[in-house]
Chain A
Amino acid sequence: MSLDAPQPDPVPPRLDLRGIGLRFGAVRALADVTLQVRPGEILALLGDSGCGKSTLLRAIAGLEQPETGTIRLDGALVSADGRGVAPEARGVGLMFQDYALFPHLTVAENVRFGLHGKSFRDRRFRDKSLRGRPTAEARTLAQARLEQVGLADRAESYPGTLSGGESQRVALARALAPGPRVLLLDEPFSNLDRRTRDRVRDDTLAVLRASGATALLVTHDPEEALGFADRIALMRRGRIVQIGTGPDLYGRPATRFAARFFGDLVEIGGTCRGGSVATPFGPVPAPGHAEGAAVTLCLRPEAIRLGAPEASLRAVVRERRFLGASALLTLSAEGLPEPLRLPVPADDPHGPGDSVGLSLDRDRGFIFADETD
């Protein structure tokens, strides 16, 4: 069977999903999701709300039961054919979007909550002085985790008294404390305001890297995925549409959807003639597209250079908007379907009415056949 064929990857995957499918009534939440995560890797599940990324996370956690496919953790089957290992027996950690801190327990008790039972004693802490004293062991470990996130002094506080950022860090410490094989993070930064978000994100990444955790992060924010994860799995309608590193997805999107997801596009329609497509910037090679096929040239704004000497298109500045560190020009040009919005440095001299030359960096344009999206 092809599913059991040896992996080309030298490191066996920590998490291995094959053909995961799940329906909620008539809604197909997950369809044929296949995905491997290597030990120590941070992978982002990226997509719009309702694309199935949170459902996939809950399926890995064991909180939802997929109807088809298999899930393996370190090679051991935890879900197959609609039956699964109970979530508490999987050794998977989950950090909830609302943090889900237990309001009736102190911060320390929250972090200690997962430090109990045989699996914990077997797995963690071989320190001889603590052996056989799980409570003392748990206290030490919980305190160490709290110190790691910089909240040791809040150990006896109740969650209701914490700020959003502090709650997030406690949730992280709690999820990491039992030493999960995989840590799942469900939109962990979406409840924070913009200012704290960046700092908390950096801190979280540092903690994850320091503990060598394997992590799966669900997010709808492409910048977060690009900045946080080693690899990104882009999801749409319950399917993974593309997996790769950040530069892969940004620089070589497989579909127009993937291209659009990571930023504004300038889209120019055309027809493939003799291996290239005619555009206002001149012909652009369209390898791999059939003669006469309707195609769209998708350009990121940075693929268009302003005022270069080899300008292939003249445009007129219609509007200039000051944005602080940069400015946004709105340009119109013959042949372009709609005005072009181009970010420029704040000291760029062009203003309304100016005529400018535009040139195209042909390596940074993507051509997609029109029937795909």
Chain B
Amino acid sequence: MTGAAPALPLTGRPRGLAWGAAALVLCAVVLSPVLALVIAAGEGTGAGAGGAALWPHLVAHVLPQALRDTALLLAGVGVLVVVLGVGSAWLVAAYDFPGRRLLEAGLLLPMAVPTYIVAFAYLDLMHPIGPVQTTLRGLLGYARPRDFVLPEIRSLPGCILLLGFVLYPYVYLPTRALFLMQAANLIEAARMLGRRPSAAFLRVALPMARPAVALGASLALMEALNDIGAAEFLGVRTLTVQVYATWVNRSDLAGAAQIALVMLVAVVALVALERWARAGRGFSSGAQRPRHFARQRLRGLHAAAALALGLVPVAVGFAIPATYLVQAALRRVWRSGLPETILPEIGHTLLYAGAATVIAAALGFVVAAGPRLVARRWGEALIRVASLGYALPGAILAIGLLGPLAWADATLSAGTMQLFGVAPALIGLGTGGALVTAYLVRFLAVSIGTCEAGLGRVPRSLPDAGRMLGRGPGATLWRIQLPLAWPAVLSGALLVFVDCVKELPATLLLRPLNVETLATHLYGEAARGTYEDGTVAALLIVAVGLVPVVILLRLGTPRSEAGAEPADQRLTGPRPSP
């Protein structure tokens, strides 16, 4: 045969050995904390080996109370977030009243306030000689603090209340979306069949919203379990607090690991609970276009009552603490200028959060693109493993990482000793590398998730077209998918950054010695009882925390997304719906 092209090498299906190796390393990093925890905990149970039988001590003296407090806290917060989240979602989805649109957005604001900051703010606000109680006494004519005492905020119920009021948006957000998108036709059908709105809510909307409620509640409870500051400030000895105390106050790694393992059981239980609550409820109301249902218009007193009711969680969860923080921070700055430590703290916060963000964005994009680069099964498996860290509370993660990081430091040190004759100590734990690693493990899932969503919006034919025009998978990813998924990558990075800035437990445990970030500074001030000095840091954190709220609001604005639109139109952005 003349002019035959030379035979090209045939390549098999699985591609990219380098990718596979990198994936293995990533899996090892993500899974190492849990494995290390099991090993560390095991060392503590070897009765008599170290002389101290820790486990019996924990079972007898620490765990019962910590488990009880944690269980009560989670139960209370669970009920409260469901009531607040579903109630507010229904209020803005089913009724129309002046100010509803603002309320819809405002109900997300408490998300910007980390649990430890809401506790921090209310501790001062509700103090017997703080503004609330003083004002109330003045109004009611009591002279001395001891004559009139409000229930103590430093208590389990107080903690439940505060956590509930900042965590309910996790339920509100998916539930409202579900009410708006799915329930419309069915609610209308229920109304047409003669049900009053309240009955339609109970019989149709609520059961349909169950998967969304379960998802939101489980996320909120994860946050509650993760919390260390609020519980500590309010005197609730949860498992997280005990993990921290056991390590920091008693330098007892095995004991901390054992408590952390118990916590891990709680996490697994939460995930299982969520799966169970969602099981078999893959509701879909057919292929119809999502449609907003006609809201019931409220007038006069009813409208005012609805607005007032909706504003309660916004006020308790955001407006009151934020106003307090602004006011207290201003007073602090007015009186004695900016705290001189604030600039280095901002620097540290930016450094660690920024480093973790950049790595998480790059790594997240590559991992999310995995199924498109290599065999689909392996790519998807890696996504799942790499996202596991999100379920690990910061305290568990930090305790679990201590062992592997110390080992890595020692290995590195020995390596450089052999090569260069110097043995730097604690490369990871001493420089913040440990902290960045922890941030990565915990928040990589956020970046992967947004990148996956962004890549998913790129029609499959576009990368295929890149391949057909002679570009390899890597070049196609770089030149086609990355530019198109860029907004998603960016918003994912922003979310990671904010999460890192807000993160407290892992930061407390893994920051280099004598290094303070905004969050740890705040924690320190609260622990010392010098609230005013922490307000500037708190305010800064809340301001950063507002960023994802703004992103969510922009994502949440309804856009026409008809599936039948040609790909090129779909990508040019939202179009006004007819």
Contacts and interface: CB of A to CB of B under 8 A. Distances in A.
B465 A94 contact: yes
B461 A98 contact: yes
A191 B569 CA distance: 13
A56 to B, nearest CB: 15
A82 B484 CA distance: 32
Contact of A103 (B466, B468, B572): B572
Interface stretch (B2-10, B111-119, B317-325): B2-10
A100 B479 CA distance: 14
Nearest to B460: A100
B470 A119 contact: yes
B11 A100 contact: no
B13 interface: yes
Contacts of B467: 62-63, 86-88
A178 interface: yes
B337 interface: no
A165 interface: no
A325 interface: no
B10 A83 contact: yes
Interface string B477-521: 001100110000000000000000000000000000000000000
A78 B8 contact: yes
B461 A96 contact: yes
Interface in A104-122: 104, 113-114, 116-117, 119-120
Nearest to B10: A83
A271 interface: no
B7 A178 contact: no
B555 interface: no
A100 B465 contact: yes
Interface string B5-37: 111111111000000000000000000000000
Contact of A96 (B5, B6, B465, B480): B465
Given A65-B13, A74-B4, A103-B572, A116 B470 contact: yes
B469 interface: yes
B462 A100 contact: yes
Contacts of B461: 96-98, 100
Contacts of A61: 464, 468
B459 interface: yes
B255 to A, nearest CB: 51
Contacts, number: 122
A102 interface: yes
A231 interface: no
A96 B10 contact: no
Contact of A104 (B6, B471, B483): B483
Interface in B558-578: 566-569, 571-572
A93 interface: yes
B5 A113 contact: no
A13 to B, nearest CB: 10
Contacts of B459: 98, 100
B472 A86 contact: yes
Contacts of B7: 76-77
B10 A79 contact: yes
B469 A12 contact: no
A80 B5 contact: no
Interface in B418-473: 459, 461-462, 464-473
Given A114-B470, A160-B568, A76 B4 contact: yes
Contact of B567 (A79, A80, A100): A100
B468 A94 contact: yes
A114 B572 contact: no
Contacts of B464: 61, 63, 87, 94, 96, 100
B374 to A, nearest CB: 13
Contact of B470 (A82, A98, A117): A117
Contacts of B480: 102
A88 B571 contact: no
B325 to A, nearest CB: 42
Nearest to B484: A104
B569 A160 contact: yes
Contacts of A146: none
Given A61-B468, A86-B472, A100-B459, A167 B568 contact: yes
A100 B484 CA distance: 13
Interface string A174-189: 1100100000000000
- Chain A contact patch, size range: 35 or more
A85 interface: yes
Contacts of B2: 12
B60 interface: no
A101 interface: yes
B1 interface: yes
Contacts of A175: 468-469
A92 B6 CA distance: 16
Nearest to B5: A76
A89 B8 contact: yes
A175 B10 CA distance: 24
Nearest to B15: A86
A87 B468 contact: yes
A74 B566 contact: no
Contacts of A120: 470
Given A96-B465, A104-B484, A83 B5 contact: no
A271 B278 CA distance: 62
A274 interface: no
A12 B1 CA distance: 7
A113 B484 contact: no
Nearest to A58: B464
A89 B7 CA distance: 11
B11 A86 contact: yes
Contacts of A159: 568
B470 A83 contact: no
Given A74-B5, A75-B1, A104-B483, A84 B468 contact: no
Nearest to A65: B13
A343 B549 CA distance: 66
Nearest to A180: B468
A353 B365 CA distance: 74
A91 to B, nearest CB: 8
B568 A101 contact: yes
A96 B461 CA distance: 7
A116 B472 CA distance: 12
A73 interface: yes
B6 A76 contact: yes
B3 A74 contact: yes
A102 B468 contact: no
A158 B571 CA distance: 12
A73 B2 CA distance: 13
Nearest to B472: A88
Among B1, B459, B473, max chain A CB count under 10 A is at B1
A62 B470 CA distance: 12
Nearest to B463: A100
A247 B12 CA distance: 42
Nearest to A79: B10
Given A12-B1, A102-B484, A120-B470, 5 more contacts: A62-B467, A89-B8, A102-B480, A103-B568, A113-B479
Interface of A: 12, 61-63, 65, 73-80, 82-94, 96-104, 113-114, 116-117, 119-120, 158-160, 162, 164, 167, 174-175, 178, 191
14 contacts: A12-B4, A76-B6, A76-B7, A82-B13, A83-B10, A89-B470, A92-B468, A94-B465, A98-B567, A99-B567, A116-B471, A119-B470, A160-B569, A160-B572
Q: Give the top 10 A-B pairs by smallest Cβ distance, nearest first.
A: A114-B469, A75-B4, A160-B572, A100-B461, A100-B465, A94-B468, A76-B5, A83-B10, A87-B467, A103-B571
